[in-house]
């Protein structure tokens, strides 16, 4: 291996200087930093008299296109007067010479491009709005169709989605809810103890968990878990042309893809929200028992007095809206995906971000509109 280092040997022959190339002039060998510096320096010293110099390539162990390119560039892209090379090496240099061209510059951005880009943003927003309206309208039409002929509905799809969205989410929502309940109870306990208002922990936990945190927490978890799955499922169907295959068979996408998911979400979301709330209350109850010595029996009796039933109805109603929204946003982004993998990733991310944002936004709306209910 001692000879494979690419290098240039200079000699003063009677008829002028001679540069003899030795070693392996390949991209891999040249790219080793210690080799590169030597070759670079040698080519630099020969720069002034490169044309007078005799170039001898015949003793090279190997020359590849990168090595030939380096040589050609150091010759200022012209042939030297005297070149000794094997036919294959000459052919390679000729190929490099023929194809060495300047890279066409990237087009510069102008103000006009920026203006056009602004226009593209407006068009995209318009597309989103139109697409969303169309999706909701189609969902209503499909719901009417289902109401007319409930027997021919996509019930298998509904039950499958119900299982995937609802049943399989039970453990994770319970765990998160339970932990949030524990955290809240610990925080509240310390604050309330300062005022000697220990018993009010039931009111605070009850109202905040049942009315707000339970539904929002469940919705955010499901948006991340199932909203992204809906987008990815439909997006993959687009990439693999399954959506086109459905269309060709005359199967309505709205009825078979959007409706079952929306229905499953609308049913599963309130149930999951109640489930999460229960887990959170359990966590809060245990924590208050540990920290403050509030017995679970007291907690339960105080809870029924502290929290009006209307809060529960509000939470359930809110969750149904969240569920529908997550499903529709997931389907909306899924159906917009272009048949390439990059679009699939972007669409899934956008879907999750949008649905979580919308959940919080709509929750704020609910809080304002129903400020007089249940408190």
Partner 1 sequence: MSPPASPLHGSLPPEGADLPWGGPAAGRMSAAPVVEIRNLWTVFRNGGVDALIHKDLNLTIQQGELLSIVGGSGSGKTVLLRQILGLETPLRGSITVLGRPASELTHDGAASRVGMLFQHGALYSAFTVLENIAFPLRELNTLPEDLVRDAVMVKLQMVGLDPAHAHKMPADLSGGMIKRVALARALIMDPPLLLLDEPTAGLDPDRSDAFCTLVRSLHHELGLTVVMVTHDLDTIYEISTRVAVVADRHVIVDAPPKEVIAFDHPFVREFFLGGRGLRAQELLRLHPHAQ
Output the smallest distance, CB 199 to partner 1, in A: 58
70 or 264, CB closer to partner 1? Answer: 70
The binder of partner 1 chosen from 66, 138, 208, 252 (CB under 8 A): 66
Long-range contacts of 122-129 (CB under 8 A, 24+ apart): 127/336, 128/332
Query: Between residue 3 and residue 62, which ones bind partner 1 under the rule CB under 8 A?
Result: 3-4, 24, 26-28, 30-33, 36, 61-62
Q: Contacts with partner 1: how many residues (CB under 8 A)?
A: 35
Output the smallest distance, CB 326 to partner 1, in A: 28
Output the smallest distance, CB 107 to partner 1, in A: 8
65 or 256, CB closer to partner 1? Answer: 65
Task: Please tell me the distance from the alpha carbon of residue 284 to that of residue 200, in angstroms, as a whole number.
Answer: 13
Query: Between residue 242 and residue 261, which ones bind partner 1 under the rule CB under 8 A?
Result: none
Whole-angstrom CA distances from 29 to 23, 46, 60, 63, 264 are 9, 21, 13, 10, 61
Structure tokens at 119: 């226009």
Rg of the chain over Cα atoms, rounded to whole angstroms, equals: 36
Task: Please report whether residue 226 would count as binding partner 1 according to CB under 8 A.
Answer: no
Task: Please report whether residue 290 would count as binding partner 1 according to CB under 8 A.
Answer: no
73 or 357, CB closer to partner 1? Answer: 73
Task: Please tell me the distance from the alpha carbon of residue 215 to that of residue 359, in angstroms, as a whole number.
Answer: 10
78-103: b or e for each residue (b if 16 or more CB lie within 10 Å)?
Answer: eebeebebeeebeebbeebeeeeeee
β pairing state of 60-63 and 16-25: parallel
Q: Which stretch binds partner 1 (CB under 8 A): 92-100, 187-195, 325-333, 346-354?
A: 92-100
The binder of partner 1 chosen from 78, 341, 349, 357 (CB under 8 A): 341
Output the smallest distance, CB 340 to partner 1, in A: 5
Structure tokens at 254: 């709205």
Output the smallest distance, CB 40 to partner 1, in A: 9
Q: Look-up: residue for tokens 């090279």?
A: 60
CA-nearest of 60, 98, 59 to 79 is: 98
> Where on the chain is the footprint of partner 1 (CB under 8 A)?
1-4, 24, 26-28, 30-33, 36, 61-62, 64-66, 69-70, 73, 88, 91, 95-96, 98-101, 103-104, 106, 340-342
């Amino acid at each position: 291996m001692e000879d494979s280092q690419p290098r240039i040997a200079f000699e003063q022959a009677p008829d002028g200087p001679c540069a003899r190339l030795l070693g392996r002039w390949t991209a891999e060998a040249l790219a080793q930093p210690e080799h590169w510096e030597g070759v670079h320096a040698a080519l630099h010293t020969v720069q002034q008299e490169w044309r007078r110099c005799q170039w001898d390539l015949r003793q090279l162990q190997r020359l590849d296109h990168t090595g030939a390119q380096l040589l050609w560039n150091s010759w200022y892209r012209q042939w030297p007067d005297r070149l000794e090379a094997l036919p294959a090496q000459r052919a390679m240099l000729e190929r490099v010479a023929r194809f060495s061209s300047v890279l066409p510059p990237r087009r510069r951005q102008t103000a006009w491009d920026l203006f056009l880009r602004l226009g593209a943003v407006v068009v995209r927003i318009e597309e989103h709005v139109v697409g969303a309206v169309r999706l909701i309208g189609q969902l209503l039409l499909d719901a009417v169709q289902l109401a007319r002929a409930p027997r021919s509905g996509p019930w298998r799809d509904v039950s499958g989605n119900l299982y995937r969205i609802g049943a399989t989410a039970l453990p994770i929502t319970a765990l998160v809810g339970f932990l949030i309940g524990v955290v809240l109870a610990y925080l509240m306990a310390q604050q309330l103890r300062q005022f000697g208002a220990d018993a009010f922990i039931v009111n605070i936990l009850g109202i905040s968990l049942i009315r707000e945190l339970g539904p929002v927490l469940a919705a955010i978890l499901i948006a991340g878990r199932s909203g992204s799955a809906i987008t990815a499922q439909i997006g993959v169907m687009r990439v693999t042309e399954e959506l086109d295959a459905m269309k060709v068979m005359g199967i309505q996408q709205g009825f078979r893809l959007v409706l079952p998911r929306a229905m499953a979400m609308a049913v599963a979301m309130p149930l999951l929200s109640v489930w999460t709330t229960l887990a959170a209350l359990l966590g809060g109850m245990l924590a208050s028992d540990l920290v403050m010595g509030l017995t679970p029996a007291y907690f339960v009796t105080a809870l029924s007095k502290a929290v009006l039933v209307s809060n529960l109805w509000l939470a359930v109603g809110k969750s149904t809206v969240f569920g529908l929204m997550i499903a529709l946003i997931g389907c909306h982004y899924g159906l917009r995906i272009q048949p390439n993998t990059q679009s699939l990733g972007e669409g899934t991310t956008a879907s999750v971000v949008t649905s979580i944002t919308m959940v919080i936004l709509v929750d704020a709306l609910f809080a304002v509109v129903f400020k007089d209910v249940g408190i």
